[in-house]
Amino acid sequence: MITALLRRLGQTVFVLFGISALVFMVFFATPGADPTARIAGRNASPQTMEKVRKEYGFDRPLPVQYATMMKKLFITQDLASYVDRGELVVPEIARAAPVTVSLVCGAAVIWVVVSIAMGTVAAALKGTWIDRSLMMLGLVGISMPVFWLGQVTNLVTQSRYHDTWLFSWVPGLGYVPLTENPWGWFKALVIPWVVLAVMFIGIYSRVLRADLVALSGEDFMRTARAKGLSPTRVLLRHGLRTSLVTFVSLFGLDFAQLVGGGALLTEVVFGLPGVGRLTYQALTNLDLPLIMATVMYSAVFVVLANAVVDSVYLLLDPRVRDAR
């Protein structure tokens, strides 16, 4: 168990290095234009260009540039945006993070609960019209671009049907901090939660159903039935519990990616000032340091979260626990 964890740690460190190098290469070593101009922003003065070149060490070899960048990002944390007149990037991300976390956590609760219910019901009623329509619903959910769904939801809840009893409670777009007004926080986020969850409900319920159906042919499911257990118990305690192993590993990955900035489109459509929208604003301003910082931080977060998920996996599946 200890060696397994140590090995996992070594892997994590390696991936962390790899990912930072990859992001660095994408931003600063793409063949073509000079990164100085990209960082300084459009129509920068020669003085600014010279300052940027010095600050990031673009006149020195790549490994030095990489080290400089990592130092500015994680150690001194003084990476500054040139487009935005010297705004420090790292604190900006720290301010945006709680919004993203609020959005993703709420959505995650919804999608886990709904997809487990949908997947289990569909598997239990395999082959019936309920199964087919649930799975078709899931497929539709997977097929909708999330930003478009958000727009249509806004159209319905903010404009067309806002004056009816159904949606009159919906507040305007934006975010309310949980510490200020919990109820306002909930009201502001509940529709973004649902919109963000739709696609994942589709994916997860379909994966879970397929898994449960595949499991129903397994020997141990037959044993459980031969023991005289009720079908519900066989499905939930034996089938679902075994499927949860895959479910959790999938969930960890997606959750981490969303917190790490994957919820960008939802944040943009609903005007939530999270990490994703920060990236989007940087995008429209071509604010390269900010984009790079968000990507780098999110990648690091995803890698660390994956390591945590793998540890949970060890707890969930006794087979893996012993195998390593």
Partner 1 sequence: MHADTMPSPALPLLDVRNLCVSFPSGGRLIPIVENVSFTLAEQEILGLVGESGSGKSVTAMALMGLIDSPGVVITGSALFRGQELVGLPQKQLRRLRGRQIAMIFQDPMTAFTPVYTIGWQIDEQIRAHEKLSRKQARARTVQLLGEMGVPDPARTADRYPHQLSGGLRQRAMIAMALSCNPALLIADEPTTALDVTVQAQILDLIRNLRTSHGSSVLLITHDMGVVAETCDATLVLYSGRVAETGPTADVFARPGHPYTTALLASIPPLYGARPDRLPAIAGAPPAPLHRPAGCAFGPRCQFVHTPCLAAPPPALFAVGPSQAAACVLPAEGTPLPPRLTEGAVVTAPVSSQPPAQFSSPEAQS
Partner 2 sequence: MTADTPSSSGAASAVASANVAAQPRPLGPWRQAGRTLVRNRAAMVALATLVLVTLLCLFAPFYAHDIAHVDPFTSNVAGSIVLDGHEADIMQPNDNPLHLGLSPIGPTGHAAYLLGADSQGRDVAARLFYGGRNSLLISASAAVLCLILAACAGIAAGFFGGLVDTILSRLMDIMWAVPVYLFAISLSIVTVSQGLKLGPFVIEADNLLIPIVIIALVYVPYAARPIRGRVLALRQAEFVTAARCLGVPRWRIVLFDILPNVMTTLVVLGPLLMALALLAESALSFLSIGVQAPAASWGTIIQDGEGLIYTRPMVAVAPGLAIVIVVLALNILGDGLRDALDVRDAARRSA
Q: Which residues bind partner 2 (CB under 8 A)?
A: 14-15, 18-19, 22-23, 26-27, 30-33, 37-38, 139-140, 142-145, 147-149, 151-152, 154-155, 158-159, 210, 214, 257-258, 260-262, 264-265, 268, 279-280, 283-284, 286, 288, 291-292, 294-295, 298-299, 302-303, 306
Residue with smaller CB distance to partner 2, 224 or 295: 295
Degrees to nearest 5, angle at CA 26 with 22 and 30: 130
Residue 281 binds to partner 1 (criterion: CB under 8 A):
no
Contact between residue 239 and residue 212 where contact means Cβ atoms under 8 Å apart: yes
Contact between residue 239 and residue 123 where contact means Cβ atoms under 8 Å apart: yes
At closest approach, how far in Å is the CB of 99 from partner 2?
17
Q: Which of 220, 286, 312, 315 binds partner 1 (CB under 8 A)?
A: 220
Contact between residue 202 and residue 142 where contact means Cβ atoms under 8 Å apart: yes
Contact between residue 154 and residue 269 where contact means Cβ atoms under 8 Å apart: yes
Residues in 227-256 at the binding interface with partner 1, rule: CB under 8 A: 227-231, 233, 237-238, 241-242, 245
Contact between residue 293 and residue 93 where contact means Cβ atoms under 8 Å apart: yes
Classify each residue of 196-228 as buried b or exposed e, where b means 16 or more C-beta atoms within 10 Å of its C-beta: bbbbbbbbbbbbbbebbbebbeeeebeebeeee
Residue with smaller CB distance to partner 2, 171 or 231: 171
Q: Which of 145, 222, 311, 324 binds partner 1 (CB under 8 A)?
A: 222
At closest approach, how far in Å is the CB of 310 from partner 1?
17
In sequence order, which residues have a C-beta less than 8 Å from that of residue 218 and are 6 or more positions away?
Answer: none
Residues in 72-131 at the binding interface with partner 1, rule: CB under 8 A: 127
At closest approach, how far in Å is the CB of 228 from partner 2?
28
Other Cβ atoms less than 10 A from the Cβ of 6: the count is: 10
Residue type, 268: V
At closest approach, how far in Å is the CB of 216 from partner 1?
9
Among partner 2, partner 1, none, what binds residue 133 when CB lies within 5 to 8 Å by partner kind? Answer: none
| CA-to-CA separations, 62 to 57, 66, 140, 218, 220, in angstroms, rounded | 9, 6, 46, 54, 56
Binding site for partner 1 (CB under 8 A): 127, 218-220, 222-231, 233, 237-238, 241-242, 245, 316-319, 322
